[in-house]
Amino acid sequence: MSEGTFENIRPTGTIENGLKIDESTDTYDTIDWLVKNLKENNGNVGMYGISYPGFYATTSLINSHPALKAVSPQAPVTDWFIGDDFHHGGALFLMDAFRFMYTFDAQRPQPITNINSPKGFELLSKDYYKFFLENPTLKVLKAKYLNHTVKFWDDLAKHPTLDTFWMNRTITNHLNSVKPAVMVVGGTFDAEDVYGTFETYKAIEKQNINNNNILVIGPWYHGGWVRSEGDSFGDVRFGEKTSQYYQKNIELPFFEYHLKGKGDFKPAEATVYVSGSNEWKKFGQWPPKEVTSTQLFLLPNGKLDKQENKSQQSYIQYYSDPAKPVPFQEGIITDRTREYMIDDQRFTSNRPDVIVFETEPLAEDLTIVGPVTADLKVSMTGTDADFVVKVIDVYPDTSHATSHLSEKTVMSGYQMLVRGEVLRGKFRNSYSNPEPFNPDEITSVNIKLPDVAHTFKKGHKLMIQIQHSWFPLVDRNPNQFMDIYKAEPEDFKPNTHRLYFDQDNRSVIGFSILNP
């Protein structure tokens, strides 16, 4: 209810009526008032925030107040077009955007109370897959459900490419004179802002050579380091309370040292929990330098191997129909659970529009750290398509040797999602200048997945799944080069795909293996 108009991730440097009104200058003014007016403060200020408040923590680093000594952006909103919350790879995260903005962007003409606060969207059928198929276009959703809260939805529709609207909101472009100590925190299984966590840390490192900037990554969902004990996530058990370890050994010492001069805080540059092997690792940089760059080739027999296919004109052909999109969760989708980030993927493995590749059972542990890339050689009958790449840890089938109540039985044959990401194909070369595919022409599509830290244990397999829908997490691609916000129901067409494996057109997965 303050004066002015709220604007989502307001651009840094905003000036209105000759006054600086962006989040950074507001933070500076707030800190200045606090240190001058609160009794018994020592003149040192710390900030932290999770998710959207993580964005505000990041903005405090720009032309920061001299009293600001320690800042911790945690799962910070960073880039709403390329990797956080509402877009990934230029594709709209439909379910999250619709449900969040339904409430968050609603008008608030009066001070909020429990009685008149905006109500969340209620779906009577409890089946979001069915709901979004029956409301098949973004125009329909706006007309039927978002008349009360359309401002940001309208902004999405007005800016379907990476234009100045989005560029002006990319906070990492401004992190070039950071003075406070910084601790960026996040979770490898964060469904909202795992991209922003890694990119905020990397931007500060790259643009501020001498800044005191560290990274902490745990096996957490969004905010799990304060919202859970961190000893498990879904069906996966870690064997220790990782959140407690972080709070006592890293977060509290960080602020006490920089704000009160207590202790002798000498953290690692990157403290990262490696799932699978379930252990904290400390690194001198992130991504670590103690790695071996590795490639695995996709092969026509569904295998992943270090040896490429020497044959010519080798490909697999398959069909993708937007009328029957691949669901992102098993069963009736009543919610977008945070656990989808590690869910068992066996429910998609047998679909004909999901292409599966896997290694032989591993002869020894394999620890992957840092980003994963997929360099695919493809062709299609349409002029656009989404590309979803999933990295999966396949547990061995041990159910016959264990009791029916044991954890091993639950995990027997489990296909644990380690990382998944989508790229809207028309943005394969540029998010600002999309390009159509030429039908039936072999084309390179490169997908960069957010960083991982995971050990594939001996006897497990590494699996890659490739698909072209992930619904209703991601809005459907009509498979035509067009402005999707203007799509009509009849614009959605099936696509016939080819994925190539021959010596002239290799499809490859790239990653870094942590050296023993």
Closest residue by Cα to residue 271 from 335, 190, 215, 327: 215
What is the structure's pLDDT at 337?
95
What is the structure's pLDDT at 409?
60
Torsion, Cα of 283, 287, 291, 296 (10° steps): 150
Closest residue by Cα to residue 74 from 223, 221, 218: 223
Closest residue by Cα to residue 196 from 164, 223, 176, 228: 223
Q: Which residue has the tokens 């293996």?
A: 513
Q: For CATH 2.60.120.260, list the domain ranges present in the chain.
A: 291-514
User: Is-contact 160 487, C-beta < 8 A?
Assistant: no
Report how far residue 376's alpha carbon sits from residue 464's, in angstroms, rounded to the nearest whole number.
Answer: 12
DSSP letter assigned to residue 249: I
What is the structure's pLDDT at 41?
96
Task: Please identify, in words, the CATH class of the domain defined by 15-283.
Answer: alpha beta
User: Is-contact 432 90, C-beta < 8 A?
Assistant: no
Which stretches of 135-217 are DSSP H helices? Answer: 138-145, 151-158, 164-167, 194-207
> Is domain 291-514 annotated with CATH 2.60.120.260?
yes
User: Is-contact 67 31, C-beta < 8 A?
Assistant: yes
What is the structure's pLDDT at 1?
58
Which three-class secondary structure state does DSSP give residue 359? coil
Buried b (16+ CB within 10 A) or exposed e, 225-235: beeeebeebbe
- C-alpha separations of 96 from 80, 191, 322, 324, 390 in Å: 12, 10, 20, 20, 19
Report how far residue 148's alpha carbon sits from residue 437's, in angstroms, rounded to the nearest whole number.
Answer: 37
Which three-class secondary structure state does DSSP give residue 189? coil
Q: For CATH 3.40.50.1820, list the domain ranges present in the chain.
A: 15-283
DSSP letter assigned to residue 254: H
What's the CA angle centered on 441, arms 437 and 443, to 5 degrees?
A: 65
Sign (positive/negative) of CA torsion 97, 99, 104, 110?
Answer: positive
pLDDT one digit per residue (tens) for the chain, 516 residues: 567 788 899 999 999 889 899 999 999 999 999 999 999 999 999 999 999 999 999 999 999 999 999 999 999 999 999 999 999 999 999 999 999 988 888 877 777 777 777 888 888 889 999 999 999 888 899 889 988 776 888 899 999 999 999 999 999 999 999 999 999 999 999 999 999 999 999 999 999 988 899 999 999 999 999 999 999 999 999 999 999 999 999 999 999 999 999 999 999 999 999 999 999 999 999 999 999 999 999 999 999 999 988 888 899 999 999 999 999 999 999 999 999 999 999 999 999 999 999 999 999 999 999 999 999 999 999 999 999 999 999 999 986 654 444 455 678 999 999 999 999 999 999 999 999 999 999 999 999 999 999 999 999 999 999 999 999 999 999 999 999 999 999 999 999 999 999 989 999 999 999 998
User: What does DSSP say about strands 15-16 and 415-424: parallel, antiparallel, or unpaired?
Assistant: unpaired
Q: What share of the chain is helix, strand, coil (3-state, %, to 5)?
A: 25, 25, 50
User: What does DSSP say about strands 236-237 and 232-233: parallel, antiparallel, or unpaired?
Assistant: antiparallel
What is the structure's pLDDT at 404?
46
Q: Is 0.75 surpassed by the pTM of this model?
A: yes
Which three-class secondary structure state does DSSP give residue 496? strand
Residue 17: CB partners within 8 Å, gap ≥ 6?
none
User: Is-contact 59 49, C-beta < 8 A?
Assistant: no
Which conformational region is residue 497 in: left (phi greater than 0), alpha (psi within -120 to 50 degrees), or beta?
beta
